[in-house]
Amino acid sequence: MTFTVVDHLHMAHALRLAERGLFTTQPNPRVGCVIAQGAEVVGAGFHQRAGEPHAEVFALREAGERARGATAYVTLEPCAHHGRTPPCADALVAAGVARVMIAAEDPFPKVAGRGIEKLRTAGIVVESGLLRDEARELNIGFFSRIERGRPFVRVKLAMSLDGRTALANGESKWITGAAARADVQRWRARSSAILTGSGTVLADNPRLTARLNEGFSLSPMGRGQGEGRVLATDSPDAEAMASVPPLRVVLDRHLRTPPDSHVLDDSAPTLLLHGVAAACPDDRFSQVERAVVAERNEAFDLSAVLALLAARDVNEVHVEAGPTLCGALFAAGLADELLLYVAPILLGDSARPLLKLPPLVDMAARWCLQLYDQRMLGQDQRLRFRPAS
Burial of 145 per CB tally in 10 Å (0-12, 13-18, 19+): buried
In terms of DSSP bridges, do strands 270-274 and 247-251 run parallel, antiparallel, or are they unpaired?
Answer: parallel
Closest C-alpha to 150, from 307, 337, 330: 307
In terms of DSSP bridges, do strands 40-46 and 316-319 run parallel, antiparallel, or are they unpaired?
Answer: unpaired
Phi/psi for 261 (5° steps) reads -70, 140
- With vertex at residue 225, the alpha carbon angle to CA 223 and CA 189, rounded to the nearest 5 degrees, is 75
Annotated binding residues for NADP(+): 158, 174, 200, 204, 322-328
- Give the number of C-alpha atoms closer than 13 A to the C-alpha of residue 60, restricted to the C-beta side: 22
Report the interhelical angle of 55-63 vs 5-19 (nearest 10°).
120
Annotated binding residues: 54, 79, 88, 158, 172, 174, 188, 200, 204, 208, 211, 320, 322-328
Cα 106 from Cα 123, distance rounded (Å): 20
77 given a catalytic annotation = no
Cβ atoms of 47 and 31 within 8 Å: the answer is: yes
CA distances from 73 to 38, 80, 96 (A): 12, 17, 14
Could you tell me the maximum CA-CA distance found in the chain, to the nearest angstrom?
A: 70
Cβ atoms of 351 and 160 within 8 Å: the answer is: yes
First-to-final CA distance of the chain: 27
Map residue 127 onto helix, strand or coil: strand
Map residue 49 onto helix, strand or coil: coil
- DSSP for 141-164 reads HHHHHHHHSS-EEEEEEEE-TTSE
Annotated binding residues for substrate: 172, 188, 208, 211, 320
Closest C-alpha to 188, from 319, 378, 307: 319
Catalytic residue chosen out of the listed positions 19, 56, 77, 337: 56
Chain-centroid distance, C-alpha 114: 26
3-state helix, strand, coil in the chain (%, to 5): 30, 25, 45
Cα 262 from Cα 31, distance rounded (Å): 34
Closest C-alpha to 217, from 254, 176, 185, 258: 185
Active site residues: 56
